[in-house]
Amino acid sequence: MKKAGSCDLKTCFLCQFSIPEWIAAIGDHKQHLSYKKNETIFQEGSPVKGIYFLYDGKVKVHKQWGAEKELIVRFAQKGDILGHRGLGSGERLYTVSATALEDTTVCYTDLAFFEASLKVNPQLTLKLMQFYADELQEAERKMRNLVHMDVKSRLADALLDISRLHNDVQFTISRQDLAAFAGTTYETIYRNLQEFIQEKLIAVDGKSITILQEKKLKKYITL
């Protein structure tokens, strides 16, 4: 990680929902940081010192299990807030890790300033609350999928999810990460991807995946 210039004060969640008078204060407090691919931005279990906003690049938010196993909880993109899970009523520890999937720059705010921002900007608090509600809905939907859907359906869901995020039928992701996101193993993802390719629902070229028949993929989910 190294420090870099400053951000445009427009893009991130914090700037977008703060009152104009507060933006200057944000400028004073924000730090611009950059991370290389595969670098850890913060680690599950370590104390929360601040909140991050993704400025450029791609980040996975994930939980570790032992040495080998992980679960990817979310992929974050430009503008997204990172580290807000630490704001609960319990101990202030990150409950997830964040790792750069490509070279990434983020804005960083220490916790005290972020909490001050919440006090000053009711709109920000409200939006953040709404964002939590959305994430909670999604987490619980995924929980249900893990319990009641088979891997192939979960893979279909994951692919559509990632496609929606990228706003493109084509995107790039490792099988490993896909497995951690769908809540299964590499081998199982490999086999089910093969099936989707055979059925011509997707096309694959290296790490690049293209969704060919969104409709049919969707049918796997409502089963």
Q: List residues binding DNA (CB under 7 A).
A: 37-38, 150-152, 174-176, 184-188, 190-191, 193-194, 206-207
Beta strands in the chain (DSSP E): 2-3, 31-35, 40-42, 50-56, 59-65, 69-76, 81-82, 97-100, 104-110, 170-172, 202-205, 208-211
Distance CA 157, CA 182 (A): 8
Distance CA 9, CA 30 (A): 9
Q: Look at strands 97-100 and 59-65 and give their pairing.
A: antiparallel
- Crossing angle of helices 175-182 and 186-198, in 10° steps, is 100
User: Rg for the chain (alpha carbons), in Å?
Assistant: 19
Does 29 contact a second copy by CB under 8 A? Answer: no
Q: Give me the least distance between CB of 158 and DNA, in Å please.
A: 13
Q: Give me the least distance between CB of 59 and a second copy, in Å please.
A: 16
DSSP structural state of residue 168: S
Task: Read off φ and ψ for residue 97, nearest 5 degrees.
Answer: -105, 155
Q: Give me the least distance between CB of 149 and DNA, in Å please.
A: 7
Contact pattern from residue 96 through residue 115 relative to a second copy, giving x for each residue in contact according to CB under 8 A and a dash for the rest: x-------------------
Q: Choosing among a second copy, DNA, none, which partner's interface includes residue 82 (Cβ < 5 to 8 Å by kind)?
A: none
Q: Choosing among a second copy, DNA, none, which partner's interface includes residue 152 (Cβ < 5 to 8 Å by kind)?
A: DNA
Closer of 147 and 215 to DNA (Cβ): 147
Distance CA 188, CA 150 (A): 11
Scan residues 46-85 and list those touching a second copy (CB under 8 A).
63, 65-66, 69, 71, 73, 84-85
Does 161 contact a second copy by CB under 8 A? Answer: no
Q: Answer yes or no: are the C-beta atoms of 174 and 64 closer than 8 Å.
A: no
Q: Give me the least distance between CB of 135 and a second copy, in Å please.
A: 6
Query: Which listed residue (38, 130, 170, 176) binds a second copy by CB under 8 A?
Result: 130
Closer of 34 and 184 to a second copy (Cβ): 184
Q: Which residues bind a second copy (CB under 8 A)?
A: 63, 65-66, 69, 71, 73, 84-90, 95-96, 118-119, 122, 125-126, 128-137, 139-144, 146-148, 183-184
